[in-house]
Amino acid sequence: MTQASRFNRILQDGLCIGCGLCQSLLGTDKLRMARGASGDLQPQIRGELSEQDVDLVYATCPGTRCEGIPPAEIEAAPHQDLVWGPYHSLVLGWAADPEVRFEGSTGGVLTALGQFLLHSKRVNFILHVNTPKDEPTFGQPTISTTPAEVLAGAGSRYGPAAPLTGLAEALDRGEPFAVIAKPCDLNAIRNLAHKDSRVNELIRYMLTPVCGGFMPDAAMGRFLKEEGFDPQEVTALRYRGRGCPGPTTIETRGGQRRDYHYLDFWGEDESSWSLPFRCKICPDGIGEGADIAAADTWPKASPDRVASETDPGTNSMIIRTARGMELISAAVRDGFLELGEEVEIPYMDATQPHQVTKKRAVQARYDGMREAGSLAPETIGLRLEKLNAMNAPEENARQKRGAYERAMAAKS
């Protein structure tokens, strides 16, 4: 097998999430993120890849390897849960500034924390995702150096994004910074920490939303066409925010603007979500690589159509590290964040049931993929085997069979 073929197996087996880390590590002379046949962002080979290059990709790609916070931080966490992992506290919270709370996707917690990190000079910049002018359904890696720039990036980006294409450049600055990105992006950074000591030295905080996945470009194109939009004419798309969850707003070059309720955009339940395959087998949608993960707090993970019109937004926060605990305390003290009550695991289960279901099913899905001859991610410290053992044998068999059949169909 050539090194190019070995690299491309990650894409062919559906494991690439499009984070862009491989481009950052190997350089654009060898790899460049671009739209693949599906329309989503994928690395395209441009130069010869060495065995060492592909070894580095396999060691750091979140499609081949997923790891959470370091073992010492896992051991330091006073609470451990098979599904939700290590944590110091589960607590409700929201941005103290009403504008930030309104603009944010739920309670504006991640935006408020990003602003506080810059305001307090704990970091020099934030690496996160904003909206590109030329591809409004996608996300664009962004470096923000002011609280106003962080606020401009508020509102979840549910389209394809490659936030780590500039990670090597960010590290090359030699300045302290924070990353706000998807859990899989943080898994990639945790992988890289084993290869590059600057990761732990310079990335002072890692923050993430609890993530159910993103919408592939093809699915977005279908939605736009079904609603009468020419995708080429769309000039702005805001997925949510300006409320909880706030409307999905689409604008066109001709001045057309239309708002959709979150449920009309995504559907009434998880069964209607359009997701990449990698999101369906994600071992860590709950942000085990983050210092703090912020989640939605709707019962059964679905906003009420009436109540959401006036809901100011509240996040639940999984605070995983002592560093995260100190950050929350300081942000509250300086007026950037407000806290509500502490919650328990049953609350997290009730507001994020799809995360529980997927976490328990993932190991069986990986078994099916491997039986079909496909790659499956190696996981470190995510307890998938123990969760698998808790399932009924017939459920594990069903999940394994489904993954096997999908993998075999992809090969035909």
Q: Which whole number is the average pLDDT over 2-18?
A: 97
Q: Is 130 exposed, middle or buried (0-12, 13-18, 19+ CB in 10 A)?
A: buried
Give residue 232's pLDDT band: very low, low, confident or very high (50, 70, 90): very high
**Cα separation, 71 vs 257, whole angstroms:** 49
**Cα separation, 113 vs 206, whole angstroms:** 11
Q: Give the whole-number percent of the chain exceeding pLDDT 90.
A: 92
Q: Which whole number is the average pLDDT over 246-256?
A: 95
Question: 163-209, pLDDT tens digit by residue?
Answer: 999 999 999 999 999 999 999 999 999 999 999 999 999 999 999 99
The pLDDT score that the predictor gives to residue 378 is: 98
Q: Which positions ≥6 away from 389 have C-beta within 8 Å?
A: none
Q: Which whole number is the average pLDDT over 396-406?
A: 97
The pLDDT score that the predictor gives to residue 194 is: 98
Give residue 269's pLDDT band: very low, low, confident or very high (50, 70, 90): confident
Does 270 have pLDDT greater than 80? no
The pLDDT score that the predictor gives to residue 4 is: 98
Q: Give the whole-number percent of the chain exceeding pLDDT 70.
A: 100
The pLDDT score that the predictor gives to residue 405 is: 97
Q: Which whole number is the average pLDDT over 266-271?
A: 79
Q: Which positions ≥6 away from 1 have C-beta within 8 Å?
A: none
The pLDDT score that the predictor gives to residue 228 is: 96
- C-alpha to C-alpha distances, 55 to 98, 232, 365, 409, nearest whole angstrom: 47, 39, 25, 28
The pLDDT score that the predictor gives to residue 105 is: 87
Does 218 have pLDDT greater than 80? yes
Sign of CA dihedral 28, 31, 33, 35: positive
Question: 284-311, pLDDT tens digit by residue?
Answer: 999 999 999 999 999 989 998 888 889 9
The pLDDT score that the predictor gives to residue 396 is: 98
Q: Which of 73, 76, 285 is nearest to 187 (CA)?
A: 285
Task: Concatenate the DSSP letters of all residues of 89-124 into one string.
Answer: EEEEEEESSHHHHHHSSSS-HHHHHHHHHHHTTS-S
Helices (H), 145-210: 147-152, 167-172, 183-192, 198-202
Q: Write down the mean pLDDT value for the chain.
A: 96
Question: 123-143, pLDDT tens digit by residue?
Answer: 999 999 999 988 999 999 999
Which pair of structure tokens corresponds to residue 78? Answer: 């006073």
The pLDDT score that the predictor gives to residue 307 is: 80
The pLDDT score that the predictor gives to residue 104 is: 94
Angle, vertex CA 323, rays to CA 318 and CA 324, nearest 5: 25
- What's the helix, strand, coil split of the chain in %, to 5? 40, 20, 40
Does residue 406 sit in helix, strand or coil? Answer: helix
Does residue 388 sit in helix, strand or coil? Answer: helix
The pLDDT score that the predictor gives to residue 412 is: 75
Q: Would the pTM of this model clear 0.75, i.e. be above it?
A: yes
The pLDDT score that the predictor gives to residue 326 is: 98
The pLDDT score that the predictor gives to residue 37 is: 86
The pLDDT score that the predictor gives to residue 287 is: 98
**Cα separation, 163 vs 200, whole angstroms:** 18
Give residue 146's pLDDT band: very low, low, confident or very high (50, 70, 90): very high
Does 157 have pLDDT greater than 90? no
Q: Which whole number is the average pLDDT over 319-343?
A: 98
Task: Concatenate the DSSP letters of all residues of 249-306 into one string.
Answer: EEEETTS-EEEE-HHHHH-SSGGG----HHHHT-S-TT-TTSSEEEE---GGG---TT
The larger pLDDT score, comparing residue 233 to residue 272, is at: 233
Q: Which whole number is the average pLDDT over 357-374?
A: 98
Residue boundaries of the structural domains of the chain = 71-215+273-352
Cβ-contact 108, 156 below 8 angstroms: no
Number of H helices, E strands in the chain: 18, 17
Give residue 410's pLDDT band: very low, low, confident or very high (50, 70, 90): confident
Residue labelled with tokens 């039986």: 371
Cβ-contact 110, 160 below 8 angstroms: no
The pLDDT score that the predictor gives to residue 271 is: 73
Does 411 have pLDDT greater than 90? no
Q: Which whole number is the average pLDDT over 19-31?
A: 98
